[in-house]
A and B are shown apart, each in its own frame.
Chain A
Amino acid sequence: GAVVSQHPSRVICKSGTSVKIECRSLDFQATTMFWYRQFPKKSLMLMATSNEGSKATYEQGVEKDKFLINHASLTLSTLTVTSAHPEDSSFYICSASPSVGGPYEQFFGPGTRLTVL
């Protein structure tokens, strides 16, 4: 149980285009989803926290207008990288938690490799 999927797993796009990444919890309802970014051989950096039906909370230094997050249902959150540039190339990972707050584990998706040319 507790499977999280991401789509696409890999995407290559041209500079200036927008890319949407989907994160789905397949067998549970996720009241909270998290979006992370990971550079090679680096730690995961939390970008934002989204709760279903409300606006995402962005971490300091993350541009909310560039990284649009929508958590429209209890099983789906999307991250849209707008006007992508080569420096946005990275590994994006989402996670989902079945509980609001509390000391619960997060279930991670397999990640999406974004390459901006």
Chain B
Amino acid sequence: SQQGEEDPQALSIQEGENATMNCSYKTSINNLQWYRQNSGRGLVHLILIRSNEREKHSGRLRVTLDTSKKSSSLLITASRAADTASYFCAPWDSNYKLTFGKGTLLTVNP
């Protein structure tokens, strides 16, 4: 399947540090999206990067995409306690569907 797989499964850092999460996928994509989910809540769209883009920024977020390696990374700079959440990557495939992995659980300690 086209399911994105996030790595690491869990990440614990101190407030102010940077957090990097990685994502791998299997086949060609049109775009790849990153979402955040707070415990017991719905998903919040963070950023979309198209297959012809290599890097994208949004506030404290930086996303990279390497289609040759079929991988993406999400960097959160100067993390805050409020960034504590699960982060999912979701490749958008030719079937116009998002498929989610198990996510990375980020804990930012104050």
Q: Determine if A43 and B101 form an interchain contact, defined as CB atoms under 8 angstroms apart.
A: yes
Q: What total of A-B pairs shows CB separation below 8 Å?
A: 49
B82 on interface, CB distance cutoff 8 Å: no
A113→B43 contact, CB < 8 A: no
Chain A residue numbers with a CB within 8 Å of B103 are 43
Chain A interface residue count, CB cutoff 8 Å, equals 24
Contacts of A113 in B (CB 8 A): 40
The CA of A69 and the CA of B103, in the complex, are separated in Å by 27
| B50 neighbours in A (Cβ, 8 Å) | 103
A43-B88, A103-B50 given as contacts; is B96 within 8 A of A108 (CB)? no
Per the bound structure, the CA–CA distance linking A107 and B45 in Å amounts to 7
Q: Is B71 interfacial (CB 8 A cutoff)?
A: no
Contact: B30 with A109, CB < 8 Å?
no
| B3-A43 in contact (CB<8A) | yes
B 82-110 contacts with A by CB, 8 A: 88, 92, 96-103
* Beta-carbon nearest neighbor of A59 in chain B: B97
A4 vs B44: C-alpha distance when bound (angstroms): 11
For the complex, is B67 an interface residue (Cβ under 8 Å from A)? no
**Shortest Cβ gap from A90 to chain B (Å):** 12
Tell whether B65 is near chain A: CB-to-CB under 8 Å: no
Inter-subunit contact A108/B88 (CB<8 Å): no
- Per the 8 Å Cβ criterion, residues 42-99 of B in contact with A are 42-45, 48, 50, 88, 92, 96-99
Task: Let me know if B45 and A110 touch, CB within 8 A.
Answer: no
**Interface contact B3-A106, CB-CB below 8 Å:** no
> Which residues 74-111 of A have a CB within 8 angstroms of B?
91, 93, 95, 101-103, 105-111
Binding site for A on B (CB under 8 A): 3, 30-31, 33, 35, 40-45, 48, 50, 88, 92, 96-103
Q: Which 3 A-B pairs have the closest CB atoms?
A: A108-B43, A108-B42, A110-B42
